[in-house]
Amino acid sequence: MVSSSAPRSKHLAICFASTIFTSAFLLFQVQPLISKYILPWFGGSPTVWSTCMLFFQVVLFGGYVYAHLLTTYLNPRWQAALHCALVVTAAAMLPITPDASWKPDGAADPTWRIVSLLTCCVGLPYFILSSTGPLLQRWFSVQLPGASPYRLYALSNIGSLLALISYPFAFEPVLSSPAQADLWSWGFRTFAVLCGCCAIGLLKQPALADTITSTASEATTEEAPTWADRAMWVGLALVASLMLLATTNQVCLDVATVPFLWILPLTIYLLSFILCFDADRWYSRKWYVVLLALSLLGVIRTLLTGAAVSIVLQVMTYLSALYFCCMVCHGELAKQRPSPRYLTSFYLLISLGGAGGGLFVGVLAPAVFPAYWELHIGIVACLIATLAVFFRDKASVLYHGQSRPAWVGLLVWSGLLVHALQTHAREAVSSALAVTRNFYGVLRIVDEQPAGTAPAHRGMYHGSILHGVQFLEPEHKRNPTTYYGEQSGAGLALRFHRTNSPRHIGVVGLGVGTLATYGQKADRLRFYEINPDVITLAQQYFTYLSDSPAKSTMVLGDARLSLEQEPNNQFDVLVLDAFSGDAIPTHLLTHEAGQLYTRHLKPDGILCIHISNLHFDLRPVVLGLARDLGMQATCVEAPADESRGQLMCHWMLLTREALPPELLNDAHEVEGLPSKSIQWTDEWSNLLSVLR
């Protein structure tokens, strides 16, 4: 890495390498750490991660702007003095643990609240870490002229990659969230000391103040990048960032919103940076463009096929396309990297492209598109970027439109891909009665006529997850369907528990309001729903709520936050129906949440927890919750019945006393309890431990 063999040069190189590695590790460790910390506060939506990524990318761009301006307009001594002052200030603001006062009020769009929270809690430390890579690489060039700083860029990406890989396997399973935040804060203090050591050389040697001037005079013979070059840097970085976030959204929607699945796409993104900027041998345009083309075909086929493709194959297809796209984008960036003279502006424009991708996915797309079309647009952008690379490369046979037959073939093939994407996007919207999109995702209302014995029905979908179904024939409209049939856990509790007196029933998760069909004339039902669009669509397109003789009340916002603010509700039955989807709100199954539920339950009340889930076995967690609360747990399974629109479902009923015999006698199957139990708390929960 360093041409000089002098001990000082070696020690200096080690100091710079250690500082850049540490800063990169902390930079990417804090992203899943703080995102997981606040995820339960905002409903467990995948958009929480997208919003956090938007914040991190914008601040990263700000850090690169700062590094560029600092190295352009200040001499090295003043650079070191100012940066060290900011590092000390950031260290004084630790720890980064967010205060509970940042929890949302339930009514407003959480996007800007998340941004404000992150700004106050991690803004300055993250800004300092963001600027470290380009700034210290420039200092490295000043103190060790002739040594290439680009290997340090690869080293920083290795630190980032190790931070991401280690988080779900080494930190999250072992340490509580506050302990992780404290450990990170001590890591930042270590970084502050190392950064000071790197700055000492600039502060102690005034002669270095003229180094930049001399370097600039030497650079007059070097060819400066053109505006077209700079635009290409921004464009390639933007496409890679857009594909990263679009793929993350797609994977989280179809599998789960967990740090592990946030980290996989980001790991691929960083790995491509490491390979491409470490050495030219890792990237071959010919092979990677071919593999990219094949992988994009696979993505389009997966989108058109839909749920028939297995989850594992879907994830592999999406992540493979992301890898080849990032290798092409970052490989071309590495080929076009300028001399160290333009190093900070190069990184600045790369970060600008990254921030542009984040702004598109996090802000523009939700405001403009009715459905998740970011992946579609990312694929189109990837095609355009690849064609632009061929068009601008003088060594390519496609340079400036040469080889017209080849261009015609490429454009026809690209047009077919775009047509397939348009078809998929159009079908997702045109087949629906209504489509809405907000912070919590995309909801669709669809009328369907099944091929089997089931009558025509209307369903609500959140992504690929079915939220509820109602038959369209008037005589069947009040029939409970999907997971809420008469033999389901909730159906049994609401059919047999305290039916001879007015009841107060709480339901966490509205869906289409199916459980309202069990309400009696004097009953009161209180529904807790975090997504305002769910309430609107359930009332507009379904009649369960209006047909029920019971009085229904809607509470908008996170159920746990709402229950914390309410007096004792004395529920006869409290139904938790927020776990059948893929974004598991872990904060609803912790010790602290359980204490809250028991406060709102009558002594003989029933806590019904719906645990039907394709990807997670929540029985050990619910059993751990029951034992922690001193309650008995009963597992109830109900079979699928196509003619009645009912799906196989699993419920767990928690009670202080044994359940009444008539309730269990009518159950289809009472399952045995799992052999182990897991207790979650607000400070520790790990979805990987219950992954099927």
Range with top average pLDDT, 80-89, 299-308, 611-620 = 80-89
Which secondary-structure segment (H or E) carries 604?
Answer: strand 601-610
Region 196-222: mean pLDDT is 58
DSSP state of 304: H
Domain boundaries, the chain: 8-215, 224-430, 475-690
pLDDT value of residue 1: 43
Residue of 291, 289, 273 whose CA lies nearest to 393: 289
Sheet of 441-448: strand order equals 434-438, 441-448, 457-462, 465-471
**b/e sequence 637-654, b meaning 16+ C-beta within 10 Å:** bbeebeebbbbebbbbbb
| Residue 398 neighbours by CB distance under 10 Å | 17
Calpha distance 406→409 (Å, rounded): 5
DSSP letters along 397-461, please? TTGGG-SHHHHHHHHHHHHHHHHHHHHHHHHHHHT-SEEEEETTEEEEEEEE--SSSPPPEEEEE
Calpha distance 550→554 (Å, rounded): 13
Identify the residue whose tokens are 């502050």. 192
Secondary structure class of 117 (helix, strand, coil):
helix
Residue of 297, 406, 285, 347 whose CA lies nearest to 141: 347
Calpha distance 74→87 (Å, rounded): 17
Residues contacting residue 7 through CB under 8 Å, at least 6 positions apart: none
Residue 208 confidence (pLDDT) above 70: no
- In the chain, the largest separation of any two C-alpha atoms, in whole Å, equals 93
Question: Which pLDDT band holds residue 222 (cuts at 50, 70, 90)?
Answer: low
Region 120-149: mean pLDDT is 84
Calpha distance 256→312 (Å, rounded): 12
First CA to last CA across the chain, in angstroms? 46
Residue 4 confidence (pLDDT) above 50: no
Residues contacting residue 261 through CB under 8 Å, at least 6 positions apart: 248, 251, 252, 255, 315
Residue 120 confidence (pLDDT) above 60: yes
Identify the residue whose tokens are 């921030």. 355
Residue of 253, 376, 271, 267 whose CA lies nearest to 315: 253
pLDDT digits (tens, 9 = 90+) for 249-268: 887 765 555 556 667 888 89
Residue 565: is it exposed, middle or buried by C-beta count within 10 angstroms (0-12/13-18/19+)? exposed
Secondary structure class of 654 (helix, strand, coil):
strand
Question: Which pLDDT band holds residue 214 (cuts at 50, 70, 90)?
Answer: very low
Domains 8-215 and 475-690 share a fold: no
pLDDT value of residue 665: 82
Is residue 256 a contact partner of residue 687, using CB atoms and an 8 Å limit? yes
Residue of 605, 599, 596, 577 whose CA lies nearest to 501: 605
**Phi and psi angles of residue 176, each rounded to the nearest 5 degrees, phi first:** -70, 165
Residue 207 confidence (pLDDT) above 60: no
DSSP state of 277: H
pLDDT value of residue 596: 94
Is residue 371 a contact partner of residue 427, using CB atoms and an 8 Å limit? no
pLDDT value of residue 148: 65
DSSP state of 224: P
- CATH code for residues 8-215: 1.20.1250
For the chain, how are helix, strand and coil distributed in percent, rounded to 5?
65, 10, 25
pLDDT value of residue 330: 92
Is residue 572 a contact partner of residue 608, using CB atoms and an 8 Å limit? no
Secondary structure class of 616 (helix, strand, coil):
strand
Question: Which pLDDT band holds residue 204 (cuts at 50, 70, 90)?
Answer: low
DSSP state of 393: -
Bond before 95 cis per omega within 30 degrees: yes
Residues contacting residue 600 through CB under 8 Å, at least 6 positions apart: 506, 563, 566, 568, 569, 570, 571, 574
Region 119-130: mean pLDDT is 93
Region 679-684: mean pLDDT is 84
CATH superfamily of domain region 475-690: Vaccinia Virus protein VP39 (3.40.50.150)
pLDDT digits (tens, 9 = 90+) for 438-464: 877 789 999 988 766 668 899 998 876
SS3 annotation, 504-563: EEEEECCCCCHHHHHCCCCCEEEEEECCHHHHHHHHHHCCHHHHCCCEEEEEECCHHHHH
Q: What is the separation of C-alpha 338 from the centre of its chain, rounded to a whole number of angstroms?
A: 33
